[in-house]
Amino acid sequence: SEEQMLRSEKLSVIGQLAAGVAHEIRNPLTALKGFTQLLRSKYKDESSYFEIMAAELDRINLIVNEFMTLARPHLTSFEQGSFAEIIQSVLSILETQAILLNVEICCELEANLPMLYCNGNQLKQVFLNVVKNAIEAMPDGGKVHIQANMAETGKERLLHVRIHDEGPGIPNEVIRRLGEPFVTTKEKGTGLGLMVSTRIIEAHLGKLQIYNRQGKGTTVEITLPIKH
């Protein structure tokens, strides 16, 4: 549709801009981070200021990295990757945060899932974003269900992944603006996670769909073709 075309045009312009700007920002950022650490150990009494500076620099770095990903899907290299390995490495990164928030993660993967043709690092970023959102949606604890299975339509084989949480659902004002950058309800959010994830999945010729049930949690369904 025309709306979809406009949107993908917008995203590709953002992507090109992002690549250029992000690249230019990264180098000075690395220098600043290094000298902040140096000053922190030199001026021990003021170390809390330098800690804040370091944390803020980390935040800039996070945003820049997410922007870089926005730009990259087209220039990316694909290879054989295992979904089970991808999700395992994501879960090991999120384990501590989940325990802190009293969130249990139940992961049910169908046995013998076939290999994906993918960029493993980018898919890791997608599942990191989505599972992290699910955990963050339940600050008072709950369950995140991750299910993955094969499905076959007439012409192609697909991997279906569902990530379901028991949180409050995505607020309506956010739903209306999904796909726009910087839409966040979190104090430390970037509002880039879902946008970056959608873009990566589209670059894999897959689909990312959100099923939102106000008050009953959110399900993110990601479908990836097995061969393309």
The nearer residue to ligand ADP, 7 or 186, going by C-beta atoms, is 186
Helix/strand/coil for 220: strand
Listed ranges 14-22, 91-99, 114-122, 129-137: which one lies at the site for ligand ADP (CB under 6 A)? 129-137
Is the CB of 36 or the CB of 133 nearer to Mg ion?
Answer: 133
Tell me which residues in 48-87 interact with ligand ADP (CB under 6 A): none
Q: Which of 137, 161, 222, 224 binds ligand ADP (CB under 6 A)?
A: 137
Residue 167 binds ligand ADP, judged by CB under 6 A: yes
Tell me whether residue 116 or residue 128 sits nearer to ligand ADP (CB atom). 128
- Smallest distance from ligand ADP to CB 128, Å: 10
Which DSSP string corresponds to 51-99? HHHHHHHHHHHHHHHHHHHHH-GGG---EEE-HHHHHHHHHHHHHHHHH
CA 90 to CA 77: how far, in whole Å? 20
Distance (Å, whole) CA 102 – CA 138: 9
170 binds ligand ADP (CB under 6 A): yes
Q: How far is CA 182 from the centre of its chain?
A: 14
By CB under 5 A, name the binding residues for Mg ion: 133, 193
- What is the closest distance, in whole angstroms, from the C-beta atom of residue 118 to ligand ADP in the complex? 20
CA dihedral 80, 227, 145, 111 (to 10 degrees): -70
Nearest to 208 by CA among 224, 192, 193: 224
The binding site for ligand ADP (CB under 6 A) comprises 129, 133-134, 137, 165, 167, 169-171, 174, 183-186, 189-195, 218
